Structure 1
Amino acid sequence: MANPTTVARGGGSSPSPGHRRRKESGRARASGLPAWSIPYVLLVPGLLVIAGLLLYPMFQLAVMAFQKVGLAQIRGTRPAEWVGLENFEKILSNDIFWSALRNTVAFAFVAVSLTLIVGTAVGVLLHRLGRKMSLFVVIGCMFAWAVPPVAQGVIWRSLFDAEAGIVNWALDLLPNWLAAPPDGARSWVGTPWLTDTLPLYIALVFCVVWAGFPFIAVSVLAGLKGIPAELYEAARVDGSGPWRTFTKITLPMLKPVFAVLTVLSIIWDFKVFSQLYTLMNGHTNREGYNLSMYAVAEAFKPPQKLGMGAAISVVLTIILLVITVVYVRQIVKQEEM
């Protein structure tokens, strides 16, 4: 039988849900805010930081794209001149813009595809390794991902150096039927990789994939850890092979992970600048520009035309937004089906 004293004091029973709601609403009234608005109020500091660091600079960039801004405007000796769509008309009528757009799209397609393939393969390998060996390989891979972009360019520029690069030295070790020197040359040594557009972008693909696949691998590994082991055991009992198991279980379960990784990789590879600038050793090859390099060259190469550079950046941003929206809509449609 319950103690009457305890019952009278309420020590033996928990407060009712209605009592808790009354207490919470009392706290909200004490703060002077309705309960539903508190989460939104807590978001205000973060939104202000985002607005100051991201939205305001983007607004300024968009405004500058419609102005003529040069050295005089930077120094403040002359106000910026509003030119409307003139900057966009100039870049769209320039052959360099279209070659830069072609280089950007082709490079992003190859780099994103290879980064996802290599990263997924390494992630699956890490999942099959033991805990200690997996940790060792993850740490080694993350060293490459942690290297700053400029340092990545320096490393791969030295590897593809015409006279002292390891790439030419390694190609000389291969038999001629596998890797014959260029026409008229006895050796690969002296072959320039970073002067022509196609070899330059081959080196850039190696550089970007080498630095980008560890992030993909670790993300895939995290996704694989969340797949129930019972699914793989059932597949083995049914006699499913490794490739069928991967395509029927692993890929469908990792679709959300691949959706995010693909969007991030597209954004990163469309905006590659530091590695390309370092490999090219500056604005030396106009045919090798991508859109980021073209924007910087127009904005800061004498005579400075910051309005033109801003217009190219706006076009690049619009292209990325369109690609991202179309890709995400396709993913959403597939999930609904």
Structure 2
Amino acid sequence: MTDTSTLTRGGGGPSSPGRRRSGRPAKAGGLPVWSIPYVLLIPGLLVIGALLLYPMVQVAIIAFQKVGLPQISGRKPAEWIGTENFTRIFDNEIFWTALRNTVVFAVLTVTLTLVVGTAVGVLLNKLGKKMSTLVIVGIMFAWAVPPVAQGVIWKWLFDAEAGIINWALNLLPNWLSTLLFGRSDWTGEPWLNDAWSIYLVLIITVVWASFPFIAVSVLAGLKGIPSELYEAARVDGASAWRTFRKITLPLLRPVFAVLTVLSIIWDFKVFSQLYVLMGGPANREAFNLSMYSYAEAFRPPPKMGSGAAIALVLTVILLVVTAVYVRQLVKQEDM
């Protein structure tokens, strides 16, 4: 018979060596269990603080100071001037041109990147395993190209004298070229002289380099959707577009939310590709906010305060746009 005297009076079993008799939380290495996740986050937070937060704080401080060549060389201390830098850039017509270019470019590029990337992702999901792997490897080469190299590649392709684009357009029949573009001779076409054509090339450059990431992310999301849903849709006679709109799109909404936010952040602050295509901050009509900030901060005479003020404005715009978009997504999820 079992000796019931070994049972505790409260009805519990024998106490094990690892079981605590007090109601206090267990400790690991002298720390409460609840604090362990926060302690593990400390190294990552320190890295983020050193690489992101500290530079952002310094930019915010410089935006309210007069920092020029005397201050950079150490001959004079930085002078606190309040909001004078912001007043100066808001009164400058170049700022509003750069803001317009930034917003229009970001809207067009984000839309095209998501559309092209989603279409390629759906196509990859339809391909066999070997062919899908081959296509993924091929398109990821474009995504892996550094931004400066992207600009160099497409600047060469659109070169007025030796570019492949002008050569290819001249191969079109005259009637077709005239019908499509209103002209038949493309010899010496200076694509990188006007602001609109610079941004046309820039949009192509950024979409070409960005859609592979979208496509692979969409493909990963599609792999997680149960095939039974698509089989039921086919049985019901749903078209491909209706299936995408009623099944794929709602289930991939979290994926699209992250991709849209990332694309907005990346495309709002494009700099390297535009710098290479323009050959430096030469054409003011083609400035975006990043290029305008660089020109103010580093073009002689350097005005670090004005450049920091433009960068701070761009950061605030990104935070506001991202916050509004995420808030709308949260509302849709709640509904």
Question: What TM-score results when the alignment is normalised by the length of structure 1?
Answer: 0.91
Give the C-alpha shift of residue 189 in structure 1: 1.2
Alignment map for 1:314-333 (pairs within 5 Å): 314-333=312-331
Distance change in 2, residues 1:18/1:105 (3 Å): farther
Look up the match of 1:11.
none
* In structure 2, C-alpha distance between the alignment counterparts of 1:16 and 1:188, rounded to whole Å: 90
Which residue does 1:189 correspond to in 2?
Answer: 187
Partner of 1:210: 208
Cα pair distance change 1:73/1:34, threshold 3 Å? same
Q: Given the alignment of the two structures, is residue 38 of structure 1 paired with residue 36 of structure 2, yes or no?
A: yes
Contact 1:160/1:193 (8 A) holds in 2 = yes
C-alpha deviation, 1:21, in angstroms? 5.3
Q: Which residue of 1 aligns with 2:307?
A: 309
1:59 to 54, 57, 64: 57
| Counterpart for residue 335 of structure 1 | 333
Q: CA deviation at 1:31?
A: 2.5
Deviation track 1:273-295 (CA, whole Å, cap 9, x = no partner) reads 00000000111101100000000
Dislocated runs of 4+, deviation >3 Å: 15-21, 23-30
| Aligned mate of 2:223, from 204, 222, 225 | 225
Q: 2:96 aligns with which of 95, 98, 101?
A: 98
Deviation string, structure 1 residues 152-175 (Cα, Å, up to 9, x no partner): 000000010011111111111223
CA distance in 2, matches of 1:282, 1:261: 30
Correspondence for 1:139: 137
Give the Cα separation in 2 of the matches to 1:279 and 1:187. Answer: 23
Q: Does 1:172 align with 2:170?
A: yes
User: What's the offset of the Cα at 1:265?
Assistant: 0.3
Q: 2:9 aligns to what? A: none
Change (3 A) 1:37 1:189: same
Helix, strand or coil for the counterpart of 1:157?
Answer: helix
What is aligned with 1:261? 259
Following the alignment from structure 1 to structure 2, what is the Cα–Cα distance between the partners of residues 39 and 18? 27
TM-score computed with the length of structure 2 as normaliser: 0.92
Change (3 A) 1:327 1:19: farther
Q: Counterpart of 1:178 in 2: which secondary structure?
A: helix
CA distance in 1, matches of 2:252, 2:274: 32
Q: Call closer, same or farther: CA 1:37–1:21 in 2, change over 3 Å.
A: farther
Residue segments in structure 2 that go unaligned for 5+ positions in a row: 7-12
Q: CA deviation at 1:22?
A: 2.5
Quote how far apart the aligned CAs of 1:32 are. 2.5
Report if the CA contact (8 A) 2:298-2:304 is conserved.
Answer: yes
* Deviation (angstroms), 1:176: 3.3
Give the share of equivalent positions with the same residue, in percent.
69
Q: Alignment RMSD, CA only?
A: 2.4
Matched-pair contact (CA < 8 Å) for 1:25–1:35: no
AA aligned to 1:233 is E
How far apart are 1:179 and its partner, in Å? 2.5
The amino acid across from 2:75 in the alignment is T
Residue 296 (structure 1) aligned to one of 291, 294, 297: 294
In the TM superposition, residue 30 of structure 1 has moved relative to its aligned partner by 6.2
